[in-house]
């Protein structure tokens, strides 16, 4: 698989990029193996995070072509009830009328648009490159265009219909290499009164929560608000409002448009000042190495049987960084049908359904999607699991 080195900041263009976190050579986290002999177990790439000295953006040192990661995508947003509830709340937070045209960029299986459509009944459209998700959207009554987002698809939409009142982009902006085109295409498609609403994991939560397992090749950037304001200003848009969101271990929701900036933006930028120097990142990298060592030590010294829950991208980062394999963790439970019967890349750990776990329960169940930990633990208890849970991030914790 091809990749290219990333040598200039994708926001400000600076070549002053300082490496601060090196997780070694890892496989693609969502590239699940069909068998223990599948070659994806051996395909590994350098996973390193760099800090831009000029604007403070964190970004990976390499870029893998998006067609190789997103054209077939095994993550389904509608699997998590916690995320569905978040989408319902987002629909309630953004008032619309029935005449609106709403586009969701990389809308996955249509979960977010479904909540907006049910609440407002307006015209919606999903733009997503994953071929396997098209049928799921259409079955849910969500129109979908099977493309990567960019200026070409924005022009295609404008040529065939109205401009958008609302464009949403949740958990996709971190995946984007050409962030300038991403914003420019949204600007081109928006009505003068329209807004772009984005949600993405927040850099400060990433650092303070030691969330190193959210580093994987799909996540090209780790944004704070300051570099985002620079990017939007360069394209003629404004970051108008910022709010914190609890989803995914700490995210932000930003409203971008043609209006004025409110006081929330300046407050976020002010609070980020110390994160434009390298001190917090050096400490973070040291904490990460300790967390990896502690997790590996616990797994290898554990006297009981261990399984994992959620064959997630973050779980694959954690397991591969710690050098954990099927010899230590027996299987990983997952609710996504497309993942069952496959193997976690790099670790050769089989992925099974909940019913398989209940037939052969472990003494310890490691919650690999810790951002939905409460939901997962409740689900497992209701299903009949009586063993202990382990939350690995930010500090390893065993729960009876």
Q: Please tell me the pTM assigned to this model.
A: 0.94
Assign residue 391 the CATH number of its domain: 3.40.50.720
Point out the domain boundary residue: 266, 301, 336.
Answer: 266
- Closest listed residue to residue 365, CA positions, set 292, 314, 310: 310
Pair (257, 290) in one structural domain: no
Angle between helices 81-93 and 111-120 (to 10 degrees): 40
Q: Are the beta carbons of 352 and 330 closer than 8 angstroms?
A: no
Q: Are the beta carbons of 208 and 233 closer than 8 angstroms?
A: no
Residue 271 forms part of a structural domain = no
pLDDT at 11: 98
| 3-state DSSP of the chain | CCCEECCCCCCCCCCCEEEEEEEEEECCCCCCECCCCCHHHCCCEEEEEEEECCCCCEEECEECCCHHHHCCCCCCHHHCHHHHHHHHHHHHHCCCCCCCEEEEECCCCCHHHHHHHHHHCCEEEEECCCHHHHHHHHHCCCCEECCCCCHHHHHHHHHHCCCEEEEEEECCHHHCCCHHHHHHHHHHHEEEEEEEEEEEECHHHHHHCCCHHHCCCCCCEECCHHHHHHHHHHHCCEEEEEEEECHHHCEEEEEEECCCCCHHHHHHHHHCHHHHCCHHHHHHHHHHHHHHHHHHHHHHHCCCCEEEECCCHHHHHHHHHCCCCCCCCCCEECCCHHHCCCECCCCCCEEECHHHHHHCCCCEEEECCHHHHHHHHHHHHHHCCCCEEEECCCCCEEEC
Assign residue 196 the CATH number of its domain: 3.40.50.150
Pair (248, 292) in one structural domain: no
Pair (166, 257) in one structural domain: yes
Pair (228, 83) in one structural domain: yes
pLDDT at 371: 92
pLDDT over 70 (residue 90): yes
Pair (172, 34) in one structural domain: no
What would the mean pLDDT of 20-48 be, rounded to a whole number?
88
Portion of the chain with pLDDT greater than 90, in percent: 89
Residue 210 forms part of a structural domain = yes
Question: How many structural domains does the chain have?
Answer: 3
Residue 66 forms part of a structural domain = no
Residue 40's pLDDT band, with cuts at 50, 70 and 90, is: low
Residue 72 forms part of a structural domain = no
167 strand-pairing partners: 103, 196
pLDDT over 80 (residue 229): yes
Pair (121, 234) in one structural domain: yes
pLDDT in tens, 201-221: 999 999 999 999 999 999 999
Alpha-carbon span 112 to 90, nearest angstrom:
9
pLDDT in tens, 110-143: 999 999 999 999 999 999 999 999 999 999 999 9
Pair (303, 228) in one structural domain: no
pLDDT over 90 (residue 300): yes
pLDDT at 73: 76
- Mean pLDDT of the chain, nearest integer: 95
pLDDT at 41: 66
Domain range for 128 is: 77-266
pLDDT at 1: 62
């Amino acid at each position: 698989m091809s990749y290219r080195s990333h040598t200039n900041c994708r926001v400000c263009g600076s070549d002053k990029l300082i490496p601060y976190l090196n997780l070694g050579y890892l496989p693609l986290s969502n590239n699940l193996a069909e068998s223990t002999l599948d070659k994806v177990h051996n395909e590994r790439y350098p996973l390193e995070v760099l800090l831009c000295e000029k604007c403070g953006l964190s970004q990976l040192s390499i870029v893998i072509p998006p067609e190789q990661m997103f054209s077939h995508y095994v993550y389904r947003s509608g699997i998590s009830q916690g995320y569905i509830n978040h989408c319902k709340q987002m629909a309630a937070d953004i008032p619309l009328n029935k005449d609106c045209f709403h586009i969701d960029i990389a809308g996955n299986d249509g979960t977010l648009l479904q909540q907006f459509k049910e609440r407002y009944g307006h015209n919606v459209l999903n733009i997503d490159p994953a071929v396997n998700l098209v049928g799921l959207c259409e079955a849910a009554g969500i129109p979908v265009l099977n493309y990567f987002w960019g200026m070409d698809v924005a022009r295609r939409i404008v040529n065939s219909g109205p401009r958008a009142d609302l464009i949403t982009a949740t958990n996709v902006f971190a995946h984007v290499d050409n962030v300038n085109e991403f914003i420019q295409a949204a600007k081109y498609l928006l009505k003068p009164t329209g807004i772009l609403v984005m949600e993405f994991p927040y850099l400060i939560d990433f650092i303070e929560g030691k969330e190193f397992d959210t580093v994987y090749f799909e996540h090209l950037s780790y944004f704070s608000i300051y570099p985002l304001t620079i990017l939007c200003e360069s394209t003629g848009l404004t970051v108008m409002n910022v709010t914190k969101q609890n989803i995914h271990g700490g995210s932000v929701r930003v409203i971008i448009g043609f209006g004025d900036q409110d006081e929330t933006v300046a407050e976020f930028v002010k609070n980020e000042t110390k994160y434009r120097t390298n001190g917090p990142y050096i400490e973070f990298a040291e904490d990460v190495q300790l967390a990896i060592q502690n997790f590996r030590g616990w797994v290898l010294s554990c006297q009981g049987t261990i399984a994992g829950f959620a064959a997630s991208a973050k779980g694959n980062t954690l397991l591969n960084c710690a050098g954990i394999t099927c010899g230590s963790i027996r299987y990983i439970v997952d609710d996504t049908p497309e993942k069952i019967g496959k193997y976690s890349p790099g670790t050769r750990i089989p992925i099974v359904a909940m019913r398989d776990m209940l037939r052969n329960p472990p003494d310890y169940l490691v919650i690999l999607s810790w951002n939905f930990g409460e939901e997962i633990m409740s689900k497992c208890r209701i299903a009949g699991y009586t063993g202990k849970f382990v939350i690995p991030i930010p500090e390893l914790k065993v729960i009876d």
